[in-house]
Amino acid sequence: MRYDQVPNSLFQNNRKNFTSRMKDNTIAVLTSNDVKHNNADDVMGFAQNNDLFYLSGIDQEGTILVLYPDAYKKENREILFVKETNDHIKIWDGEKLTKKQATEVSGIRRIEWLQDFEMVLQYMAFESDGFYLGHNEHLKRITKNQQTQQDRMISWCKEKYPIHEYYRAAKITRALRPIKSDEEIELIKRAAEISVVSFKNVLKACKPNIKEYELEAELTYNLTKSGATRHAFKPIVASGKNACALHYNTNDSTCNDGDMILMDFGVCYANYNSDTTRCFPVNGKFSKRQRDIYTSILHCLKEGSKLLKPGINSLEYEKQMAGLVEGELIKLELLNADDVANQDSENPLYKKYFMHGTAHHIGLDVHDVGLYSRPFEAGMVLTCEPGIYIPEEGIGCRLENDYLLIKDGNINLTEAMPIEIVDIEALMED
């Protein structure tokens, strides 16, 4: 693996917390993700099912985890099934995890080969009353029209054991994953540390007429060199008017003298992610208008991040954040105070220039699982990312940090990434 091995105590504790929430005499079955193909004989990079990783630490395809905490036989309470290396796999793809290695990573003592899953499960299935099965329940999931390994497992189990009770594993992990352990926080911090160096490299490389993808390459070089797994998501390097498209990521335009760049990027380290956004001038010096807009957004970030603390709910937080941005839009003369005072509350005027939320959970997923009806709690890691987008001026500005909520407030995990205008200009001048 690229990253340092994670202590298996993390996964042991996660399993303990998960099984404590299972109904009596039930079995949980969680599967790895598929390896996705693109064209001909090539495949896309593998990304593990995050619920499976959360409970096992295994970062390999062809993996199934079975948890049966009420099993009569102790050896049946935790079983990990992994793909066995054969001569063909060894020659073409290299070695897979051995049983010993799988135990070292996961802390699970009983390791079986994947081909024995059906037989082993049947020995236990009729002792149990039901199954917990995994499924992608994220609000913005993109697998809703595609069959996944989890979908196939659900179909297989219900065909094989049709009159068992069935429950949702995601309901449990959705409750557990938002509260990060010390080990998880350290992994997010490591991702953030890599992103800080990457950003400084971009500032030093930036100059008029450089291509957006050349700056993307600086990010890719450093995260690869640093042992990160991959980009947390396809980075956004948006210069000029491109910054007004929220999910622009073709990164193929020329960065023109006088324009400002919005760069939204993250690092995935050991499957844990950072997510940050910074803006900077192509030529190294903010124009007066760019400086004014940037200063407004930085003010919203500093004041808005103070709202991220235990006890507040997402709706109230977002309402207060919107109020901060609205006030800055009036100062920037993009909105008229009288018009705002008389606006339709259901269609506020600020949405012309600011149209997205500003806080999301982050962890194993960039937009990590968790119900936003649940008040914020200590141990959660959340972003804060206010923005203003002015297509008619060709300026889009968003700033984003990652915050760990603690008892009396929060800690900025990305504080080391330069954000003050004076610091950005100084780095670009060197």
Q: Residue 351 carries which DSSP code?
A: G
Residue at 72 is within a domain = yes
Q: Is the same domain home to 378 and 399? A: yes
Residue at 2 is within a domain = no
Domain count, the chain: 2
What's the pLDDT score for residue 38? 81
pLDDT in tens, 327-355: 999 999 999 999 999 999 999 999 999 99
Q: Is the same domain home to 16 and 96? A: yes
Q: Is the same domain home to 239 and 322? A: yes
List the structure tokens of 186.
Answer: 């350290």
Computed over every residue of the chain, the mean pLDDT equals: 95
Residue at 3 is within a domain = no
Average pLDDT over residues 42-60: 92
Q: Which band of pLDDT confidence, cut at 50, 70 and 90, is reported for residue 149?
A: confident
Given a contact cutoff of 8 angstroms between Cβ atoms, the answer to whether 304 and 321 are in contact is yes
Average pLDDT over residues 13-30: 98
Which is nearest to 300 in space by CA: 328, 335, 261? Answer: 328
Query: Can you give the pTM of this predicted structure?
Result: 0.95
Q: Is the same domain home to 91 and 167? A: yes
What's the pLDDT score for residue 41? 74
Q: Is the same domain home to 134 and 235? A: no
Q: Is the same domain home to 416 and 277? A: yes
Domain span holding position 400: 182-429
Given a contact cutoff of 8 angstroms between Cβ atoms, the answer to whether 330 and 292 are in contact is no
The H or E element containing residue 57 is: none
Q: Is the same domain home to 314 and 343? A: yes
The H or E element containing residue 181 is: none
Given a contact cutoff of 8 angstroms between Cβ atoms, the answer to whether 413 and 403 are in contact is yes
Q: Which band of pLDDT confidence, cut at 50, 70 and 90, is reported for residue 19?
A: very high
Residue 243 clears pLDDT 90, i.e. is over it: yes
Residue at 1 is within a domain = no
Q: Residue 400 carries which DSSP code?
A: B
What's the pLDDT score for residue 85? 86
Kindly give, in sequence order, each residue whose CB lies less than 8 Å from that of residue 50, ignoring residues fewer than 6 positions away: 177, 271, 364, 365
pLDDT in tens, 400-417: 999 999 999 999 999 999
Q: Is the same domain home to 33 and 162? A: yes
What's the pLDDT score for residue 145? 66
DSSP letters spanning 105-159: HH--SEEEEGGGHHHHHHHHHTTSSEEEE-----TT-S-TTS--HHHHHHHHHHH
* CA 11 – CA 415 distance, rounded (Å): 28
Residue at 268 is within a domain = yes
Q: How many CB atoms lie within 10 A of CB 319?
A: 11
CA atoms within 13 A on the CB side of 301: 28
Burial class (CB in 10 A: 0-12, 13-18, 19+), 90: exposed
Q: Which band of pLDDT confidence, cut at 50, 70 and 90, is reported for residue 322?
A: very high
Q: Which band of pLDDT confidence, cut at 50, 70 and 90, is reported for residue 143?
A: low
Summary count for the chain: helices (H), strands (E): 13, 17
What's the pLDDT score for residue 40? 72
Average pLDDT over residues 374-391: 98
Q: Is the same domain home to 76 and 23? A: yes
Residue at 368 is within a domain = yes
Q: Is the same domain home to 87 and 139? A: yes
Q: Is the same domain home to 159 and 231? A: no
* CA 203 – CA 284 distance, rounded (Å): 8
Q: Which band of pLDDT confidence, cut at 50, 70 and 90, is reported for residue 86?
A: confident
What is the amino acid identity at position 232? Answer: A
Torsion of CA 290, 292, 293, 295, to 10 degrees: 110
Q: How many CB atoms lie within 10 A of CB 251?
A: 20
What's the pLDDT score for residue 45? 80
State which of 152, 176, 200 marks the end of a domain.
Answer: 176
Strand partners, 341: none
CATH assignment at residue 187 = 3.90.230.10
State which of 176, 192, 224 marks the end of a domain.
Answer: 176
* CA 159 – CA 150 distance, rounded (Å): 14
What's the pLDDT score for residue 36? 80
What's the pLDDT score for residue 39? 80
Point out the least confidently predicted range of 84-98, 274-288, 387-401: 84-98
Residue at 141 is within a domain = yes
| Edge-to-edge order in the sheet of strand 267-269 | 230-231, 267-269, 272-273
State which of 155, 176, 197 marks the end of a domain.
Answer: 176
Residue 42 clears pLDDT 90, i.e. is over it: no
List the structure tokens of 364.
Answer: 């194993």
Q: Which band of pLDDT confidence, cut at 50, 70 and 90, is reported for residue 144?
A: low
| Farthest-apart Cα atoms in the chain, separation | 75
CATH assignment at residue 72 = 3.40.350.10
Q: Is the same domain home to 266 and 151? A: no
Average pLDDT over residues 127-132: 97
pLDDT in tens, 204-239: 999 999 999 999 999 999 999 999 999 999 999 999
* CA 197 – CA 191 distance, rounded (Å): 11
Average pLDDT over residues 379-398: 98
